[in-house]
Amino acid sequence: MKTETLKNGLELTLRKAQPKDATAILSYLNRIGGESDNLTFGENGLNLPPEQEAAFIQSVNASKTSVMLVGFVEGEVACLGDLSASTKERLAHIGEVSVSVGKKFWRQGVGEQLMKALMEFARDTGVLELLHLGVKADNAGAIALYRKLGFTEYGRFPRFFHVNGQYYDEILMYRML
């Protein structure tokens, strides 16, 4: 568990997600889907039963090279981050990162703290050497953060996102650890 002070003075507590968090995480994900067009799903886009999410969290926690971190501010889920590594020997050195931050916590340092915690976990595995992620091409704030943290663009997936009748590219980025 890690606690950081945000730009607004509130405390962000980051920790590994636990199966008991499943309902709160699903509620958070369904809420943020309606807050942002930068995600791969919309409002109520994750129609999963809590038991399925709890089982997924348990499987992530069983891995030495994958993690799901959840962040709380004043008891509310503020962010969620995943680091997933392949179990295939030839790809085991690569981790895929995905993060989300609730809209009311944007530009408070939440995303940066979450990314730093995921990167620290990745380094501590002793296995992961490279992280990669995808980001919607018009998400300037996230792109700036990833660049600040040492990520480099290596390509684009054209027309990856289809939001409100419009297509957006996905920018693909990586960082060596």
Report the sign of the C-alpha dihedral through residues 97, 103, 108, 110, in that order.
Answer: negative
In terms of residue numbers, what domain contains 7? 2-176
Residue 19, domain CATH: 3.40.630.30
Structure confidence at residue 47 (pLDDT): 85
Q: What is the distance between the alpha carbons of residues 170 and 12, in angstroms, rounded to a whole number?
A: 29
- Residue entry with tokens 């945000």: 6
pLDDT in tens, 150-166: 999 999 999 999 999 99
pLDDT in tens, 46-76: 889 999 999 999 999 999 999 999 999 999 9
pLDDT in tens, 114-170: 999 999 999 999 999 999 999 999 999 999 999 999 999 999 999 999 999 999 999
Instruction: Compute how many other C-beta atoms are within 10 angstroms of the C-beta atom of residue 59.
Output: 12
Structure confidence at residue 45 (pLDDT): 72
Number of folded domains that form the chain: 1
Structure confidence at residue 160 (pLDDT): 98
Q: What is the mean pLDDT of residues 98-120?
A: 97
DSSP 8-state symbol, 157: E
Structure confidence at residue 43 (pLDDT): 83
Structure confidence at residue 114 (pLDDT): 98
